[in-house]
Structure 1
Amino acid sequence: MDALPDTLEKCGVLPHGVRDEAANAPPYAEGGGMGLSPGSSRIPGRIVLRRGSGWSTNAIRIEVFMEQLMRNFTLNFFGKGIHKVSPEAFLKGKNGYLLDVRSKEESASIFIKLEFHSNIECQNIPINEVPDRIDEIPKEKSIAVFCPANVRSSIVYAYLLLKGYPDVRILEGGYSALTDALRPGSVLKAVQNK
């Protein structure tokens, strides 16, 4: 959990100060009743649960961070494209990791290998397997999450931010943008540079 606030601050989605409030917030509300007290913390919208409620402090922190993440997904954030990377820019980068979150069947039908792009490692981990296989995704690489319509990749993007991954983006454009970036001239350059 400690890496999450650092990651969110680096990505510009968590304002300074909120991380300290979330980390130091009491795990349970004081008093009786249902224990739901949205106004009991300085963090807007935070629900603090009473003892015996079954919710852990970490679950509440995750909720707080996810809410803050969503609050900062503004027009400015999306307008600047902070959350995405073009295939051309990603293929030119260093130490890249293409995370293909399509199903096994989709991946078997159109397999993405990028064999001649030695700067990119590719792996298919279907979205439903990502939580169980999170340790296979390297934190030290620039991650581009891929799916054809950017729905699944958007979900995994937010999940990886939540898990503390510092450099993750959505690979924009789906199949057509990726195949455009892999036209013969681009592939020839990659082969010559290998």
Structure 2
Amino acid sequence: MLNLFKIKGQKKEEAANTNGRPPAKKQSPGELRLHKDIAELNLPKKTNITFPNGKDDLMNIEITLRPDEGYYVGGAFVFTLQVPPTYPHEPPKVKCTTKVYHPNIDLDGNVCLNILREDWKPVLNINTIVYGLNLLFIQPNDEDPLNHDAAAVLRDDPQKFRRNVQTAMSGGYVDRVHFPRFLYEQAVQQSATK
């Protein structure tokens, strides 16, 4: 037989322990692991991480990378990470919100990075993803492309690839596709003059 008085007593005790506030939401194992990963972040220079939905929603992350070497120096690239509750057993879903001319990022923002697919292991973390994304800008990979045209240019004519990247980052057209201007230093200068 169910003892209703005992259950009511437990509820009153729980309410007293939370000082009238609703009880805290129980965190999933993925959220607990994510707290640990965030506490241990060691980001590359010129890399920022934010939580667009506030500190109560760590499962949605925004990362801004500003490569300091390679073809993409001077650019600022924004990525969103949606961390699933099953993290770290499944990798976060990563999208590039900056339209970029890149062999490993298509025009819809999908990212081709092996650790986000078949090479993901639970020992990997957010820091690993950030360094992997950063490496894509330092050493784009023409052997596993999402943008096959950009990969072919990188492989066959690296100087033309460099010009195409600069044109795209400056807000120009590459192969009849318009890219918005996203040079970091110029954006900083423009906001300073306003």
State the TM-score, normalized to the length of structure 1: 0.26
Question: Highest Rg: 1 or 2?
Answer: 2
